[in-house]
Amino acid sequence: MIATVPDPIVFGTSGWRAVIADQFTFAHVRLVVRAIGDYLAHQGMQGRPVVVGYDTRFLSDRFAREAAGVLAEQGWDVLIANRDVPTPVVAHAILDRRAAGAVNITASHNPPEYNGVKFSPAWGGPAEREATRWIEARITALRAGGTASEYHATGRLGAVESFDPREAYLTHLRTVIDVAAIRAAKLRVAVDLLHGTARGYLDAALKAEGCEVTVLHDQRDPLFGGSAPDPSERRLTELAALMRGGRYHLGLATDGDADRFGVLDADGTYITANEVLALVFRYLIETRGAKGGVARSVATSHLADAVAAHYGREIYETGVGFKYIGRLIADGKLVVGGEEAQGLTIGGHVPDKDGILACLLLAEMVARTGKPIRRQLEELTAVVGPCYYRRIDRPLSREGAVAVADALSRLDAIGGYPIARRVDVKGITKWYLDDGSWMIIRPSGTEPVIRVYAESASLDRVEELIKAGERIVVTSVG
């Protein structure tokens, strides 16, 4: 029998994710959680509780109870959610309970065969790279026979307490959303919860403010109806068909752990996260006089940049991963931060992406302006100009990723156009042409795919760039 070296456990842009019963096992979850507990002790967080949450995936509740047990053995008092819970609610619970941090069993929008462990420290946002590197190194040491004794010398057994974070979160939401405007508008809203954790949160919040709400897929289903719980245009066809009936003002959706959002206008038109970010930014400046700038990931549209330029606000371009945006929110620098991958939060709210918040903001915007989202978007682009944006995803193996990276290192032109300049942001390269058009090719940090992004003021040019990027990928992997 040939001994094999176990695959390393590596944290991506939003925690560690793996296929259930392959790498995602009880033994590995215990190992990861033990390392997280050690990290919190190393940071001097003793005396504070640790929050444990979980989503609706297969065995997530069992994995969460196992995680709580490991933390209690290390001496941590644990607050474990009394049911599956949205990721932004976990973030709020950290701040509300002054917790040392949180362990969340979730794979967010990934296909149903995946699960994951997300760690959030005491400031409430996703763990930054310095923290996850420490945890990864600790996992390696524990696998090699290391013990936790150097971090947990008291021998105290922590208490495990079930708690309900729902009402505290919903109460807070009412301080950052204009609920009076929503209540006065008597909106008719269709909501697709995609069998995820937002049931009893998004639908309940809308109903509490007098909206007429039709809900799709509000039953827990670990298989998510046979598809990934991703509120993308291709996943929301049932919601779009309902919207085309003409009786709803707005269609809203959240992903498996409710940190991502999907928005459909009154006629069923899908409104992208790039468009939502720019619209929310402008709306908060115009209606609330909100102070601060906007943050977006390097792969997100520059439409928000155009809004920032119009109002004289600062633009923060960050790496991919909401931890970068979350830190800027926590530091009070932003009106809003978002990414093209359906993530958004605002100043004064939790420093993690929140699909429930995003959906309620869109409802507020329709209620207060009396205008469909698409009309608001047309008014915006009439002021700041158009930005044509495209993204495509292709499956990719580890070997394929290496081949693509090698090809990109030699790149000097895109589709026959010479590269004018390149910008590197947190390990991601962005290539610009002379006219300001740009392209990115990067492997996903949460899925086995490679993504090609492009944007231009010209629709024809963005299509050329996307096709050129796809050719680079296909040619590289053979």
Q: What is the mean pLDDT of the chain?
A: 94
CA 133 to chain centre: 20
Quick one: pLDDT band at residue 3, thresholds 50, 70, 90? very low
**Helix or strand run (H / E) with residue 343:** strand 343-346
Assess whether 31 and 123 both reside in one domain.
yes
pLDDT of residue 148: 57
Task: Evaluate whether 420 touches 434 at the Cβ level (below 8 Å).
Answer: yes
Average pLDDT, integer, range 421-445: 92
The answer to whether 258 and 108 have CB atoms below 8 angstroms apart is: no
Contact present, 259 and 355 (Cβ < 8 Å): yes
Dihedrals phi, psi of 65, to nearest 5 degrees: -65, -35
In the predicted structure, residue 398 carries a pLDDT above the cut 80: no
393 and 378 belong to one structural domain: no
Predicted local distance difference test score (pLDDT) of residue 43? 96
DSSP state of 51: E
Q: Average pLDDT for residues 392-402, to the nearest whole number?
A: 84
Which pLDDT belongs to residue 397? Answer: 81
- Residues 93 and 232 occupy one common structural domain: no
Assign residue 439 the CATH number of its domain: 3.30.310.50
Residue 1 pLDDT > 50? no
Contact between residue 85 and residue 199 where contact means Cβ atoms under 8 Å apart: no
pLDDT of residue 406: 86
- Which pLDDT value is given to residue 262? 98
Residue 3 lies in a domain: no
Residues 129 and 212 in one domain: no
Least confident of 25-34, 180-189, 351-360, 469-478: 469-478
- Does residue 230 share a domain with residue 356? yes
5 belongs to a structural domain: no
Q: Are residues 215 and 336 in the same domain?
A: yes
pTM of the predicted model as reported, rounded to 2 decimal places:
0.94
Helices (H), 272-315: 273-288, 303-311
Q: Where are the beta strands (DSSP E) in 89-156?
A: 101-105, 114-121
Which residue has tokens 């409430």?
124
Residues 361 and 412 in one domain: no
Is the same domain home to 177 and 73?
no
Is the predicted pLDDT of residue 153 greater than 90, yes or no? Answer: no
Answer yes or no: do 152 and 172 share one domain: no
Reported as a pLDDT band with limits 50, 70 and 90, residue 412 is: confident
DSSP string, 386-441: --EEEEEEEE--HHHHHHHHHHHHT--EETTEEP-EEEEETTEEEEE-TTS-EEEE
pLDDT tens for each residue of 53-101: 999 999 999 999 999 999 999 999 999 999 999 999 999 999 999 999 9
Same domain, 377 and 417: no
Residue 35: predicted pLDDT: 96
Mean pLDDT score, 322-340: 97
CATH code, 360:
3.40.120.10
* Judgement on whether residues 366 and 402 belong to the same structural domain of the protein: no
- Confidence class of residue 2 from pLDDT cuts 50, 70 and 90? very low
Question: Which of 384, 408, 429 is a domain's end point?
Answer: 384
Side-chain-side CA neighbours of 193 within 13 Å: the count stands at 23
Domain boundary among 331, 360, 384: 384
Per-residue pLDDT reduced to its tens digit, 243-272: 999 999 999 999 999 999 999 999 999 999
Q: Indicate the length of the chain as a whole number.
A: 478
Asked whether residue 196 carries a pLDDT value surpassing 70, the answer given is yes
Q: Domain end: 134, 164, 194, which one?
A: 164
Neighbours of 156 (CB within 10 A): 14
Q: How many CB atoms lie within 10 A of CB 448?
A: 12
Domain count within the chain = 3
pLDDT bucket at 415, cuts 50 / 70 / 90:
confident
- The answer to whether residues 281 and 372 belong to one domain is yes
Residue 257's domain comprises 168-384
- Report residue 346's pLDDT band, with 50, 70 and 90 as the boundaries: very high
